[in-house]
Amino acid sequence: MLQNRVKIIPGLDHTPSATCLYATVYWIYEDLHGVSPTAAIMSDILIKCTFNRIFTDMMRAGKKVSRPMAGSLNLAPGTVLIFEKNGGVGHGCVVKSATVIGGYNQTNWFSTPGIAHSYSQHHPNDISWRGALHPTDVNINVVLPPFPPDPKWGKLYQLDQGKARDILFRHESTMQG
């Protein structure tokens, strides 16, 4: 199950490769194949498929998320979340449990601080919504005090882990030959 794969990736923390999309593809690959991908495999996926194309397909296949009218956002463990930014892919992460979203490089996506080029966890309530008149808008530029707010608005998409595995598998298939 994808949610059980979401954790610190050995050798990745605090390196320039520690991006949210890299980590999310890594976990989906691990869940799909039952083994961790090698650096060479991740490089092949990055070069031949591009993470951006993979996540664009995931965003298209996903469902736009609306803020809950009351209470917490209800997301199934293993759900892949994709934050849309300026019409494209901005951030990817995975729901570990009803109260934990895990991912890499989660700075400025949640109302609690993330860690640049490292793993962090956030509660679904840490997603910063625009308000009742714009129920699908999320703040994609969360600036924490003491700095003044500077909101930028995007959308949030969810995709179940089975569809995420299928999309990665389809992209991997194009690498053959």
Cis peptide bond prior to 113, omega within 30° of 0 = no
Those residues with Cβ within 8 angstroms of residue 156's Cβ, 6 or more apart along the chain or in another chain: 64, 65, 81, 82, 83, 84, 127, 136, 138
Task: Report pTM.
Answer: 0.94
Q: Report the half-sphere exposure of 101 (CA within 13 A, side-chain side).
A: 28
Asked whether the predicted pLDDT for residue 168 surpasses 80, the reply is: yes
Percentage of the chain exceeding pLDDT 90? 76
Q: What is the mean pLDDT of residues 38-64?
A: 94
Asked whether the predicted pLDDT for residue 143 surpasses 90, the reply is: no
Q: What is the mean pLDDT of residues 80-100?
A: 96
pLDDT given at position 40: 93
> In the structure, what pLDDT confidence band is assigned to residue 177 with cuts at 50, 70 and 90?
low
In the chain, where are the structural domains located? 2-173
pLDDT in tens, 94-136: 999 999 999 999 998 999 999 989 999 999 999 999 888 899 9
**Conformation bin of residue 105: beta by default, left when phi > 0, alpha when psi is -120 to 50:** left
Asked whether the predicted pLDDT for residue 3 surpasses 60, the reply is: yes
pLDDT given at position 4: 97
pLDDT in tens, 9-48: 998 888 887 899 999 999 999 999 999 999 999 999 999 9
Asked whether the predicted pLDDT for residue 164 surpasses 90, the reply is: yes
> Which parts of 86-131 are beta strand (E)?
88-97, 100-104, 119-122, 129-131
Mean model confidence pLDDT for the chain? 92
Q: What is the mean pLDDT of residues 80-85?
A: 96
pLDDT given at position 154: 95
Contact 95, 3 (CB under 8 A): yes
